[in-house]
């Protein structure tokens, strides 16, 4: 089993970095096309790309340093201690030791829907929040699986990694929006004047490509960002097994939480990516399958069963779990 989950960890990390590199490549191609279209000079792309990244980074810094407090406040999370939540604190402490990270702050959300999330910019500034429903409906082994998953997000620096990808995606959106607005208000500006004089054929081609990319690149980048989020969930599952040495506990937790019909009222589309499983149910109006931040529950469970040398879930279980996020 050890080799198997280490293989999964390596594969998920590799997939995450390849996806992130694809966003970098998309940003470079978009910046080059727009820079050349506007200036007729390849060096013009550099300034546009650098400016967009700087603006995107500045816009993300507030979220990076204060986002955890905002999420905890919006979620109605209250900090607990060994007296008020002894089992929860004990599980978090033992798994934090196993993960070789500092003990995070632990919060409780008074909601009967079972779920949890981790937040914070690094292991030294991390917090874990769980719902009261999670404590009531899961046994200790299942709770260990969930906490191991969330601590793995902390240990793997997933929030920092997601922030970097978010800055790149935001930069693509900024460049695209600027170029499309400039094109709309100026009618192409210099491109039109060059066209009247016979123009630069290569620049005209670059302009057409830039418009095409400016429309599609933000959508493609967002889809890649979601794919990165899903890969980090797979990575956290495998890392949780590394910590607990018990894939069955995590598997049972996934099945219980996925089939629970309680709605987590405090969750929204801005925070749903943080949770252990997607807190927005498919039957809710706010649900959107296209922009899913989590891989399918059935896929996550089957990967865990593979770690135990077992086959995929049988047809009856598949019917119960099919289509769940």
Any idea which residues carry the catalytic annotation?
Answer: 150
Q: Residue 108 forms beta bridges with which residues?
A: 78, 130
Beta strand 77-79 pairing with 105-109: antiparallel
Q: What SS3 class is residue 108?
A: strand
Cα 93 from Cα 100, distance rounded (Å): 10
Structure-token match 């699986």, residue found: 145
DSSP tag of 322: T
Q: Could you give the 3-state DSSP secondary structure of residue 282? A: coil
Asked if residue 203 lies in contact with residue 194, where contact means CB atoms within 8 angstroms, the answer is: yes
* Distance, C-alpha 15 to centroid of its chain: 13
Q: Residue 64 class from Cβ within 10 Å (0-12 exposed, 13-18 middle, 19+ buried)? A: middle
Q: Using CA atoms, how far apart are residues 202 and 65, in angstroms rounded to an integer?
A: 44
Contact call for residues 92 and 113 (beta carbons, < 8 A): no
Single out the residue of 303, 314, 311 nearest to residue 4, CA to CA.
303
CA geometry: angle 127, 266, 234, nearest 5 deg? 55
Element (H, E) at 128: strand 126-131
Among residues 126, 125, 107, 124, the alpha carbon closest in space to that of 115 is found at 107
Centroid of chain to Cα 274:
7
């Amino acid at each position: 089993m050890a080799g198997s989950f280490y293989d999964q960890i390596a594969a998920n990390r590799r997939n995450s970095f390849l996806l992130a590199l694809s966003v970098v490549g998309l940003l470079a191609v978009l910046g080059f096309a727009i820079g050349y279209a506007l200036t007729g000079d390849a060096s013009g792309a550099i300034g546009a790309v650098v400016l967009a990244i700087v603006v995107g980074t500045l816009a993300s810094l507030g979220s990076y340093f204060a986002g955890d407090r905002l999420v905890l406040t919006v979620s109605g999370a209250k900090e607990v201690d060994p007296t008020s939540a002894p089992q929860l604190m004990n599980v978090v402490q033992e798994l934090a030791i196993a993960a070789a990270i500092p003990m995070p702050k632990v919060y409780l959300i008074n909601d009967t829907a079972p779920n949890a999330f981790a937040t914070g910019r690094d292991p030294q500034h991390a917090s874990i929040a769980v719902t009261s429903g999670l404590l009531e409906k899961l046994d200790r082994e299942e709770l260990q699986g969930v906490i191991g998953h969330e601590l793995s997000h902390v240990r793997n620096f997933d929030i920092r990694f997601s922030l970097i990808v978010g800055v790149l995606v935001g930069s693509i959106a900024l460049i695209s929006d600027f170029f499309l607005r400039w094109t709309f208000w100026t009618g192409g500006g210099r491109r039109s004047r060059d066209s009247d004089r016979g123009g630069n054929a290569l620049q005209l081609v670059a302009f057409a490509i830039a418009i095409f990319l400016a429309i599609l690149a933000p959508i493609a980048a967002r889809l890649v960002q979601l794919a990165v989020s899903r890969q980090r969930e797979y990575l956290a599952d495998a890392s949780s097994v590394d910590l607990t040495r018990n894939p069955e506990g995590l598997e049972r937790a996934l099945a219980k939480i996925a089939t629970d019909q309680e709605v987590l009222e405090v969750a929204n589309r801005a925070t749903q990516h943080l949770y252990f499983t997607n807190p927005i149910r498919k039957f809710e109006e706010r649900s959107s399958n296209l922009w899913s931040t989590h891989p399918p529950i059935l896929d996550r469970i089957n990967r865990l069963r593979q770690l135990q040398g077992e086959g995929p879930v049988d047809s009856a279980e598949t019917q119960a779990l099919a289509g769940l996020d």
